A and B are shown apart, each in its own frame.
Chain A
Amino acid sequence: MSIAPAIACDNTPRGARLTLSGGWTIGAGATLERTAQAMLTKIDGARAAFIDLSEIEQMDTAGAWVIDRSRQALESRGVTAEVVGARPEHTILLREAHFRSTETPERVEHPTLTSLLADIGSSVFSAGADLVNGVGFLGRLVSILLTVLVRPRRWRWTSTFYHLESFALRGAPIILLINFLVGAIVAQQGIFQLARFNATPFTVDLIGILVLRELGVLLSSIMIAGRSGSAITAEIGAMKMREEIDALTVMALDPLEVLILPRVWALVLALPLLTFLADIAALAGGGCVAWIYGDIAPAVFIERLQDAIGLNTFAVGLIKAPFMALVIGLIAAVEGFAVAGSAESLGRQVTGSVVKSIFMVIVLDGLFAMFFAAVRY
């Protein structure tokens, strides 16, 4: 590294002579700034200053900038400041990097309260816009689905099965695992809490109804929103960033038909399948804990289960699954298309996609609960 920048000052009858030496480069950092500022104090009230650059070893644009900045500051205080002894390359540098005002319009910042209120307003507005967008998107998707149904040759089987594999088959192990664990936890809590009322056998009813009606489908949907919804948003978003979506459009292909329909369709097929697996895994987990922890033998467990649940209990969970899948797919696609140019925006939309889908899945589950209660199913 070069030596630090330094200044020597001696007063001559004609004015102060500032002799600059060392390396006036950006690498000197704060020292560079301080030394240049010191030029203003060192001249000690002289009316004229000569800035001697002949002993400078190295200079770059940053050095030239701070030297010229100090020179102009001297001039504005009524001191005639002149650069002497500059080598040709330094003269060029001083000319290219001479100090000038760099005022630019900053991005306008509003006061905190105003921006807080504006944020709330825009969030409400964007929530509304999301709903309108989503419904519009659903409409387009349905109309495309109808045209494809009329002309089945346009159906993209390869793509559909590819996504079905990645959503359902590749997602199955993790969904089996978490549902097995949740079934086990519910069984353990059921046995532990119900033991106080001597009602341990009702644990089987608890597991059966809770898992089949709610937990199986809910956990699978949340897992799929996190696993596949995010993947869809990221894929579509990256394709949007690299103009692949535009390329499809100018080839007279509808991105919705080529990209979204197979994915949404695969999701709608995958989620009921996964929900079925989830139900079985959770019952198995509950059965294991009931056997080991609650001394309920598997044969007894199965017998009680047959009494506790009907086909409708199982159907309630399964009916919900395709709707959950549709909501996840729609939100993922809308968010993917909303990605703008930057990496930051891709991250924001993927987060938005997962958060919104999980939220909507839970809201939808609540609506279904009210509906099934009303029709007594």
Chain B
Amino acid sequence: MIAPDEPVAASANNVVIRVRGLKVGFGDRLVMDGLDLDVYRGEVLGLVGASGAGKSVFTRSVLGLLPKQAGMIEVYGLDIDRLTMGERRRVERRWGVLFQQGALFSGLTVKQNIQAPMREHLDLSPRLRDELAMLKISLVGLPLDAANKYPAELSGGMIKRAALARALALDPDLLFLDEPTSGLDPIGAGDFDDLIATLQRTLGLTVFMVTHDLDSLYAICDRVAVLGQGRVSAVGPIAELLLSTDPWIHSYFHGKRGAGRETVFRLGAQGEAR
């Protein structure tokens, strides 16, 4: 296991995503009501919250897939509402998104899926495109012969890896992961956590991760943001959140499923202190 990096100092130019006063709703029901959140450069931020609290809605509104009713979203210091088409494309090229179900194009092979953004956005020779696609495939730990398979021929874990490879195709600095370990077996999920941590360190990525997986939170997240009542009710390193008195946060981390991991985490921290 790779220990999480030291949290990055919070200075203004280190903020990759800045959200202020975000309001998103459907009809007259507000899902996000005045949400504020900063994501710092080089950190892994985990977003947790009850089912239906709006984790996916939040991610989708940052990505520009859902219209917002009020508030401001800045990515790399650029207000995403005031972008020209060219700036918008440049921002979109700098982020990679891993959707929950993978969202691989079903009519393309894995290799073609990875090459799709390269083909659309960049002027690369076919040879380099092939080589880079194969590099991404080996980076995410897929066997090389998966390259020519169609998504329908892959297992769930392989689809996640292939989708991650596609998200990494343009070497983004910012990676959005929507429940990356859901549907994987514990070993596969642990491997996937390691993979994300390794990639995050080697490529210097900023990772924004929606997850329900307590193991992921403990293993790779530098900070965790808790979503509740349409806003971020708490944000900080997991050690801080463990001390929180908020009833929901308490039962999330100290409930039946959280308690065992918490003990392991505490023991590990004590071991390191010695």
Seen from chain A, the residues whose Cβ lies within 8 Å of a Cβ on chain B are 1, 25-27, 29-30, 33, 60-62, 65-66, 69, 89, 92-93, 96-97, 99-100, 102, 104-107, 340-344
Contact = CB atoms under 8 A, between A and B. Distances in A.
Interface of B: 90, 93, 106-107, 118, 122-125, 128, 130-132, 134-136, 138-139, 144-145, 147-148, 150-152, 168, 170-171, 201-204
A29 B204 CA distance: 21
A99 B130 CA distance: 13
- Which applies to chain B's interface (DSSP): helix, strand, loop or mixed? helix
B152 A340 contact: yes
A65 B135 contact: yes
A344 B122 CA distance: 26
A343 B106 CA distance: 6
A92 B93 contact: no
20 contacts: A27-B93, A30-B124, A60-B203, A61-B132, A61-B168, A61-B203, A62-B128, A62-B171, A92-B201, A92-B202, A99-B131, A102-B134, A102-B135, A102-B144, A104-B134, A104-B144, A105-B145, A341-B151, A342-B106, A344-B107
A26 B130 contact: no
A104 B143 CA distance: 10
Contacts, number: 79
Contact of B148 (A97, A104, A342): A104
Contact of B139 (A27, A33, A96, A340): A96
A61 B107 contact: no
B123 A30 contact: yes
Contacts of A104: 134, 144-145, 147-148
Contacts of A100: 138
Q: Across the A-B interface, give the 8 residue pairs with the lowest CB-CB distance, nearest first.
A: A341-B152, A102-B134, A342-B106, A60-B171, A344-B107, A29-B123, A29-B122, A30-B123
Nearest to A25: B171
Contacts of B135: 61, 65, 97, 102
A342 B122 contact: no
B202 to A, nearest CB: 5
Nearest to A95: B202
Contacts of A343: 106-107
A166 B128 CA distance: 53
A49 to B, nearest CB: 21
A341 B152 CA distance: 5
Contacts of B93: 27
Given A29-B122, A97-B139, A342-B107, 4 more contacts: A92-B201, A104-B148, A341-B106, A342-B151
A3 to B, nearest CB: 15
The residue among B90, B125, B131, B150 with the most chain A CB atoms within 10 A of its own CB is B131
A100 B132 CA distance: 11
Contact of B171 (A26, A29, A69, A102): A26
Nearest to B150: A342
A202 to B, nearest CB: 55
B202 A107 contact: no
B130 A102 contact: yes
